[in-house]
Amino acid sequence: MTMTTDPFLVLDDISKSFGTVEAVRHVSMEIEAGEFVALMGPSGCGKTTTLRMIAGLEAPSAGEIRLDGVRMNEVKPWRRDTPLVWQSFALFPFMTVFKNVEFGLRMRKIDKATRRRKTMDWLERLGIGDLSQRDTNKLSGGQQQRVALARALVAEPRVLLLDEPFSALDAHLRVQMQSELARLHRQLGITFLFVTHAQSEALAMASRVAVMNEGRIVQIGAPLAVYRAPTSRFVAEFVGMNNILTGPVTRLNGNEALVQTDFGPLCAPLPPTHRVAPGERISVVIGADRIALSDDDVQSTENVVKGTVLGQEFVGAMITVFLELAPGVEFRIQKQQHELQGLDLTIGSTLTAWWTTEHAYVLPQTDED
Amino acid sequence: MSIQSEARGPPSGSRGPYWFGLFWPAPSVSWQMAFFVAPLCLLVAITFWKVANFQLSADFTTANWVSMYSAGYFWDAFLYTLFLAAVTTVLISIIAFPCAYALAFKVSPATRRLGVFFLLTPFFTSFIVRVYSWQVILSNDGILNSGFGAVGLGPFNMLNNSFSTIVGFFTLAFPLVILLHLLSLSNVDRSIIEAAHNLRCGRVMTVFLIIVPAARVGLTLAACFAFLLSFGEYLSPSLLGGSRPPTLSVLLVDTVKSGNHWPKASVIAITMIVTLTLILFAAVKFAYHKSPGADRD
Amino acid sequence: MIDRLINGLFRVYILLAILFILMPILTLVVFSFNINRHPRLPWSEFSFIWYEAMWNDPAMQSGFVNSLIVAACVAVIATFIGFCTAYLDYRFRFRGKIAILAIFFMPPTIPIVILGMVFLVYLAKIGLFGELYSVVIGHVAYCAPFAMALVRMRLAQMDENLEAAAWNLGASEWTTIREIIIPFTRPAIIAALFLTMAVSFDEYMIAWFVSGLNETLPARILAVLQGQVTPQINAVGSVVFVISISLVLVAQFVLLVRRPQGSR
């Protein structure tokens, strides 16, 4: 029977429309107990609406949400155990830290002594025990974040929902809270469902990633698989820094295809999932971090493109070089700073970029626009 | 009435009436129906009733409308009321603006807060007492004239005329109009003022070419309030204006209290409400109408 | 130099405006202590006789008590209705809301002389004329919009997820009203209580029309002003002024000075 094999949390073909706007369209997903799943996508893709439906703050227009095999659609939010950590934290401003954390226990009519013990336990556990009598508006962002986490976890839920919880923090704190969250997940062993638009957060913490676009889940899988093997142009562009070149297949050579693009021929390993015939147009993805740069000509006829330097961007020790292959066509190469020594990176100079065939990847669908 | 689509809130998924949602409109709707809408409806109905032997009885006669609208004194009062309200509106707008302008641009935030305090507080305090006090100040043997007399001037006749009536209207509406002007001036983007100065638009020119047009909606709204308050005010024309000539409000009270003729008083009341509605509607339309220059960019 | 002159002139202008606003009040208070029957310059002699006269006037005494009773009842009812309507507007969207709110905000925009007459006719017709509750009925519709506006402005400052956060932690909608909405809007509720009390305590027209023999203090003052004025009116006016300004000051203090927690 399905009842016994039903995964912990099931989204069964759920949709949600607000008036004429379809925020979520036919989303299906199964989440096992103890997973750390990230829902990611650009703003307006329906990820927060999906999370709010799980918490019962929105009603699905169609489809079914099951928790432990039980249909949740009609269950009021206050009858669910699906605490949410809000983007704005949504701490109760007229209550102390202690009162905030205690709130969920008080609503569950738990006796005072137990409430006190559990609340203090969680405050200590998150390292804010000494703040218990403070007003929440006198806390730093990181402290507020911890209060929000303690408040959500104090009633020992089996799932924790997080809605972009780190977007209000600065970069340094974000990394710290990420590792804290990962530690909590390991210790508690409960399900975490995490919504974010930042791919770095999703890839760093989640055991599975679902990418959403325009209300649909467009790809779901392990972080690295999604990162290295995007199934669509959208995911390839959203998840990592990828370059995509498109052209017709001219020749098949064993399990490699030769593709003629506007910027030269290139070679790509054939995808195992579908057959490619000569003449078919395919899109080839090359990760920006997999590309080599040189100012000499390269002794190869394939997997080489030439362009003029448009500019560069520094993030820490990483440099992204922007090459213009043709007017309006940009090619991005990401390198460690020391790898670029000796290259002329002034704007307008000509550089050659190349890569090996195994680092190219053929998209299953060529969704050109 | 059904409350189904919530602005923000949990789904009302379960069956049965949504008691929580039905509760919130209940107090205002029931109270307003019983003690505001019903009285207003009765007011309209009563204009068609008749009075015989000092007894009011239900009827459907247009006699009250006809007799009121054919009375010369009614139209005199109507025009005088319109005239007073219009003059007051113009005067208040002109006199209040520099004050609001100074509070908005020429003083420190602390002074501005103090000013706002002095303007906001009187609106809610003892209008009747303040009107009476003007009587004491303005009367022929009153404070101002005894002051003038001490230096050999006067006495000036400052009570029981249009002037003293308008002083009463000012007492009611002036602080509120300054406050509304101040509110709309503080919403004017400072950078467009600096841009105007930068383009060699002088101080005075900037006020008339930039600030007034930018704050037009708020200024018109303030004028609406001035008109609204002075059009229906009763104490100033009766206690300070001496009821001669009567305004509509004085006429209304006399018709109720001395004449004991509620249907005719209702005709006056409805005429006042309709007049106010039409004038305010036209003013709001003017305020939100696009200025001719705005279409081009 | 010119700038300083202009700024100085603007300051004088502001002072003149405030002087105009304060003049009647100052005059009243000053002459309430003047022994002379006719308030005029020069000031004659300091005295409390008009306060004593007021104190011993039974009509003033009962008017004062009546006013207090009416104001307290109006404050509670109007603030309750205002709170409900503010939450209705904050939380729900439905067809007819605009109509409900438009009618709700109408009473203060209608000249009170008309309101007074409307209530006189209606209450007389349904047999509720001439009692203290007649005045309460007349005042509530007039005062509730002020309470609504105060609470609604406070709700607009609330993090829009606060309610949902409470539901999410196990509080039902009713519990959330008690645990979140009321504590958050408490300063506005208190301010609304005091402000509506002040408005009701001051209101003379509706009270004059419908109170019959149970006159409130402002209705009594209006009746006196229309007949034979006695100088004790100065004393009464000063007392009324002090009470109503105190109520308004408390309302402002609660809202502004004691900085409300959790303002964003």
Look at residue B170 in the predicted model and tell me its pLDDT: 95
Using a CB–CB cutoff of 8 Å, tell me whether B258 touches chain C: no
Distances (CA, A) of B269 to A42, B54, B257: 59, 20, 14
Look at residue C168 in the predicted model and tell me its pLDDT: 94
Q: Alpha helices of B106-161 — where are they, by DSSP H?
A: 109-123, 127-138, 143-150
Domain membership flag for residue B242: yes
The CATH number assigned to the domain holding B72 equals 1.10.3720.10
The helices-and-strands tally (H runs, E runs) of chain B is 16, 2
Interacting residues of B22 by C-beta distance below 8 A, sequence separation 6+ = B3
Look at residue B61 in the predicted model and tell me its pLDDT: 85
For chain C, what is the mean pLDDT? 89
Judge whether residue A366 has pLDDT over 60. Answer: no
C94 to chain A nearest CA, in Å?
A: 13
Task: Answer whether A103 sits within 8 Å of C179, measured CB to CB.
Answer: yes
CATH match for A241-362 among 2.40.50.100, 2.60.320.10, 2.60.120.560, 2.40.280.10 = 2.40.50.100
Domain count of the fold of chain B: 1
Enumerate domains of chain C plus CATH numbers: 58-257 (1.10.3720.10)
What is the span of the domain harbouring residue B85? 63-288
Which segments of chain A belong to CATH 2.40.50.100?
Answer: 241-362
Domain membership flag for residue B205: yes
pLDDT band at C264 (very low <50, low <70, confident <90, very high): very low
Burial annotation A116-139 (CB, 10 A radius, 16+ → b, else e): eebbeebbebbebeebbeeebeeb
More confident residue, B117 or C210: C210
What does chain A come to in residues? 369
Domain membership flag for residue B200: yes
B107 to chain C nearest CA, in Å?
A: 8
B167 → chain C, closest CA residue: C20
pLDDT by residue (tens digit) across B274-295? 999 999 999 888 888 765 544 4
CB atoms within 10 A of CB C126: 11
Task: Answer whether C209 sits within 8 Å of B256, measured CB to CB.
Answer: yes
What's the CA gap between C6 and B72, in Å, rounded? 50
Domain membership flag for residue B10: no
Average pLDDT for residues C29-55, to the nearest whole number?
A: 80
DSSP B159: S
CATH number of A9-228: 3.40.50.300
pLDDT by residue (tens digit) across A225-263? 888 888 888 998 888 788 888 888 888 887 888 888 888
ipTM: 0.89
Task: Answer whether A56 sits within 8 Å of B14, measured CB to CB.
Answer: no
Look at residue A369 in the predicted model and tell me its pLDDT: 44
Domain membership flag for residue B206: yes
Interacting residues of A336 by C-beta distance below 8 A, sequence separation 6+ = A317, A318, A319
Sign of the C-alpha dihedral, residues B94, B100, B104, B108? positive
Using a CB–CB cutoff of 8 Å, tell me whether B8 touches chain C: yes
Q: Evaluate the omega torsion of the peptide bond into residue C108 and state whether it is cis, within 30 degrees of 0.
A: no
Average pLDDT for residues A145-169, to the nearest whole number?
A: 92
Burial annotation B60-90 (CB, 10 A radius, 16+ → b, else e): eeeebbeebeeeeebeebbebbbebbbebbe
Domain membership flag for residue B55: no
Q: Which residues pair with C92 in a beta bridge?
A: B6
DSSP code string of C199-264: HHHH--HHHHHH-TTS--HHHHHHHHHHS---THHHHHHHHHHHHHHHHHHHHHIIIIISPPTT--
Interface of C with B in 95-114 (CB under 8 A): 95-96, 100, 103-104, 106-107, 109-114
Which segments of chain A belong to CATH 3.40.50.300?
Answer: 9-228
Nearest C-alpha neighbor of C140 from the set C198, C212, C81: C81
Neighbour subunits, C (≥3 Cβ pairs < 8 A): A, B
Judge whether residue B232 has pLDDT over 60. Answer: yes
DSSP code string of C99-123: HHHHHHTSGGGS-HHHHHHHHHHHH
Task: Answer whether C28 sits within 8 Å of B37, measured CB to CB.
Answer: no
Q: Which of A3-17, A183-197, A284-298 is most confident?
A: A183-197
